[in-house]
Amino acid sequence: MSQNLLGIDVGGSSVKAGVVDVKTGHLVGEMISAPTPRPSTPERLAAVIVGLAARLPQATGSVGVAFPSVVRNGVIRTAANIDHSWLGANGAAVVGKALGRPVVFLNDADAAGLAEMRWGAGKDVQGTAMMLTFGTGIGSALFVGGRLFPNTELGHLELNGMDAEKFASAHVRTALKLDFPAWSERVNVYLAQVHALFWPDVIILGGAVSERYAEFSGLLKCDAPLRPAQFAGQAGVIGAAMASSES
């Protein structure tokens, strides 16, 4: 099998793609992206992924797709931040048919967590590690002894009478024009809730906002050690390619 595989990370605003050396976790060249279509139906999103793949012909073999949903055996089970026409669809089959290549679908935060646990901020954690990604929503990935417990969806914990991601996501920070102190207060409330339920040994904070971690890290408070994601906004692409190599 080629060690240079294509990873796709589907987000609420953009679809990112990159060629990943799955032996080292390094991107081969630059990551590219395209706007997430509106509406993001299976057919329209598959077409975007095909277009991205055509721009990265050096990646051969299987393709990994990180997707903002509970994914079981390639089938999409939830649709909080994607078009509801995906519910019940076999994402791996839809995109695989469009690409003419084997495709592996997995939850986007799980993909990011796999990358961080293998090569990034969690590679030395032996106990319980939690990856939280802040973007359009809040994604989560839980690892115990290095093994993934998939599809945890902790962005949908109830917080102040709403989904936690409607209170503390990076999208909420942008939409409400919150500065980092105001947003960090919200994140701290969420971290306290997560810690009280799971008592992780380490929490890794990811998503594109983690690229600015130095600007708000001093404002965060949690009883578990906090670490910025080493791969930041690239983690989903890297973890998706990694998952496709191990399928």
CB 240 within 8 A of CB 8: yes
- In tens, the pLDDT along 182-225 reads 999 999 999 999 999 999 999 999 998 999 999 999 999 999 99
| Structural domains of the chain, with CATH | 4-110+235-245 (3.30.420.40), 125-229 (3.30.420.40)
Strand order in the sheet with 138-144: 147-149, 138-144, 128-134, 202-206, 226-228
| Rounded mean pLDDT, 8-25 | 95
- In tens, the pLDDT along 76-130 reads 999 888 899 999 999 999 999 999 999 999 999 999 999 999 999 999 999 999 9
Q: What band does 1 get if pLDDT is binned at 50, 70 and 90?
A: low
Predicted confidence (pLDDT) at residue 2 exceeds the cutoff of 70: no
**pTM for the whole thing?**
0.94
pLDDT of residue 13: 87
- In tens, the pLDDT along 41-77 reads 999 999 999 999 999 999 989 999 999 999 999 999 9
Q: Computed from CA positions of residues 223, 68, 83, 55, in that sequence, does the dihedral angle turn out positive or negative?
A: positive
